[in-house]
Structure 1
Amino acid sequence: MTSETLLEPRRPGTTRNRVPSWRTIRAVKGAGFSAPFFLGFLFVFVIPVGYALYESFYQKQTSGLGIGGRTKEFVGFDNFSRVLEDGAFWGSMGRVLLFALVQIPVMLGLALAMALMLDVVRRHLAHRFRFSFLVPYMIPGIVAALIWMYLYSPRLGPLTDILDTVGIHANFYASSMIWISMGNLLTWVGAGFNMLIIYGALQSVPREMFDAARMDGAGELRIAWSIKIPYVRSALVLTGMLSIIHMLQIFNEPLLFRQVAPQTVTKDFTPIMMIYYQAFDSSDYNYAAALSIVLALVVGAVSAVFYNLANRGQK
């Protein structure tokens, strides 16, 4: 092919077959792999939140003493104003946040201790203990709650009889004990999952650092405090943020405890319980939607504040 042929302009009406570049092919494949996630995110999160936001701007009005039926009217931000003035909702929010300030550090501390213990045992033993620690998390939440409710039962459970033998008379369903009872349950279920995340972060720590520290005379406790824990700080931040999100949305456990202690676990005991009863007991779906939107904003704000405070020292 001569240089004249290369410089010859294309004739009108002719096209060249353009082969897609490898970057385009890679981008298409990546979009194909991520499409299921985005579809699920759209139908499970975006659309429900959008629908809840839409419903929160309306209110169903009853006319003619109920005989004339109910009409749906646009009320703007009236439902949100009602949320801001609802002491029961904000009381449940504060109740859960105070509980989280105690339960989450205890659970994460236990998960960290379990992960550190697994890191010092032999590898073949670590696999066995890791599975044993993770078993409570694999149990469905409803089943786990029923197990602990049986253990707490004053007539059938063994815990009351065991404590009675040492002179301790405990009522696990009393108002002074109900949070401790649920805290035991949540710690038992969640410690294994958080331990697995922290233990995975520990495996990425260079082993040469431990050998060098031992040669300098450092013991295992000193190595754990000065090397291991700082290296898993990001994992602790992640587990802490996930625990806060879960705690503000706690529902299954108090709902089941309400069946045996309705005077202690009221309908507005937690924010999600209040939303549930507003929607399906009082049939006030519009107000429940407004409560859901406000709860989502609070969860996002608290998570963002915690994340920024926890990572401030790393900047």
Structure 2
Amino acid sequence: MSDSSASIQGPRRGKRRGPGLAPYFFVGPFAVAFTVFLLSPLLVAVWSSLFTVKRSGLGFGGTKTSVFIGMGNYQAALQNKQFMSGFGRVLLFGVVQVPLMLGLALLFALLIDSTLVRFKRVAQIVLFIPYAVPAVIAALLWGFLYQPGVSPIVKGLRTIGLDVNFLAPDSVLWSTANITTWCYVGVNMVMIYSALQAIPQDIYEAARIDGASEARIAWSIKIPMIMPTLIVTLFLSIIGTIQLFNEPTVLRTVTSNVSSEFTPLMSIVNTAFAQKNQNLGSAMSVIVALVAFILSAVINLAQRKWEEKS
């Protein structure tokens, strides 16, 4: 009786084992890279921003002493007109450039995903190629196209009576925005298109049976269902706007209308290395990191609100 019952019940199961070391093995490399390349530099910057260097001897062989000044560097950074002007410049840049870039990326993704475009793979490759070009190389190419003396675009516009200077003080910011848009429309299009591919095709078929046009399907079905992806692309674009550096730095070599403190990151580099004030530069970098963190938190909150409503 006992043998038969034991055979029916089968072998006893041992205690369930925990996940072991496998999760740590996969998370470990990211944790190490995050600590070494992001967290540690940020902590060093915060610590350095609380000090300043006092020099003695009027610069003739004197000593250097590190003095704690608390929030003094942050006050100096916030009172730096060039640094704050750079924030205003990238804010204006982002208000115009980010919606334009994401609007174009969304439009191209919807067109490729629709039945209107036949050669979908070719269209994706053509739109993605600019992203494969490094930002510095792209800025050099566009800098050549912007120079009035050699630009075929400027010469072509002059033949029809339009005298355009892409590097003028009032237009150089938008010339920079054109470079950034040209570079990053493709990668955002790929992200949006990937999200569109995850939508079940049955929904489209049902909408077409009900008489919905492609435009109606895009507006009422596709865009609402890929809203989380659109928020992610918005988040990445805003962070990229705050970190604007490569394009204006390259254009600075071809025009004097881009100053060494044109953007916040350019101000940090100029202060820390050209002016050799690493402590003030650290305070500026912490301010930029705080602005990026606040914007990230706002976008994350908006994404959660959208998911709750959905």
TM-score, structure 2 as length reference = 0.90
Which residue number in structure 2 is paired with residue 69 of structure 1?
63
Which residue number in structure 2 is paired with residue 119 of structure 1?
113
Contact kept in structure 1, 2:195 and 2:229, CA below 8 Å: yes
AA of the residue aligned to 1:53: V
Query: Within the alignment, does 1:240 sit opposite 2:234 as a pair?
Result: yes
Query: Within the alignment, does 1:54 sit opposite 2:47 as a pair?
Result: yes
Query: Within the alignment, does 1:99 sit opposite 2:93 as a pair?
Result: yes
| Secondary structure at 1:176 match in 2 | coil
TM-score, structure 1 as length reference = 0.89
AA of the residue aligned to 1:44: F
| Secondary structure at 1:23 match in 2 | coil
Structure 1 residues without counterparts, runs of 5 or longer:
3-18
Contact kept in structure 1, 2:140 and 2:251, CA below 8 Å: no
Q: What is the CA–CA distance in structure 2 between the aligned matches of 1:266 and 1:295, rounded to whole Å?
A: 19
Cα shift at 1:84 = 2.5
Contact kept in structure 1, 2:93 and 2:174, CA below 8 Å: no
Query: Within the alignment, does 1:270 sit opposite 2:263 as a pair?
Result: yes
Q: What is the CA–CA distance in structure 1 between the aligned matches of 2:15 and 2:267, rounded to whole Å?
A: 55
Cα shift at 1:192 = 0.3
- Deviation digits for residues 291-315 of structure 1, max 9, x if unmatched? 0001100111122223434553442
Which residue number in structure 2 is paired with residue 254 of structure 1?
248
Query: Within the alignment, does 1:209 sit opposite 2:212 as a pair?
Result: no
Q: What is the CA–CA distance in structure 2 between the aligned matches of 1:145 and 1:255, rounded to whole Å?
A: 9
Q: What is the CA–CA distance in structure 1 between the aligned matches of 2:248 and 2:304, rounded to whole Å?
A: 32
Q: What is the CA–CA distance in structure 2 between the aligned matches of 1:274 and 1:287, rounded to whole Å?
A: 10
Which residue number in structure 1 is paired with residue 280 of structure 2?
287
How much identity, in percent, do the aligned residues show? 38
Which residue number in structure 2 is paired with residue 301 of structure 1?
294
Cα shift at 1:49 = 0.6
Which residue number in structure 2 is paired with residue 39 of structure 1?
32
AA of the residue aligned to 2:18: R
Which residue number in structure 2 is paired with residue 24 of structure 1?
19
Structure 2 residues without counterparts, runs of 5 or longer:
3-13
Q: What is the CA–CA distance in structure 2 between the aligned matches of 1:84 and 1:205, rounded to whole Å?
A: 47
Instruction: Report 1:6-17 matches (<5 A).
Output: none
Cα shift at 1:43 = 0.8
Q: What is the CA–CA distance in structure 1 between the aligned matches of 2:17 and 2:141, rounded to whole Å?
A: 55
Query: Within the alignment, does 1:131 sit opposite 2:118 as a pair?
Result: no
Q: What is the CA–CA distance in structure 1 between the aligned matches of 2:219 and 2:19, rounded to whole Å?
A: 48
AA of the residue aligned to 1:278: T
Worse-matched range after superposition: 299-308 or 145-154: 299-308
Per the alignment, do residues 89 and 20 of structure 1 end up closer, same or farther by CA in structure 2, a change over 3 Å counting?
Answer: farther
AA of the residue aligned to 1:305: V
Q: What is the CA–CA distance in structure 1 between the aligned matches of 2:306 and 2:24, rounded to whole Å?
A: 36
Q: How much is the aligned-residue C-alpha RMSD, in angstroms?
A: 1.9
AA of the residue aligned to 2:37: V
- Deviation digits for residues 167-210 of structure 1, max 9, x if unmatched? 11111110111122111111100100100110011011111111
Q: What is the CA–CA distance in structure 2 between the aligned matches of 1:310 and 1:33, rounded to whole Å?
A: 27
Instruction: Report 1:121-200 matches (<5 A).
Output: 121=115, 125-200=119-194
Which residue number in structure 2 is paired with residue 15 of structure 1?
none
How many residue pairs get matched?
295
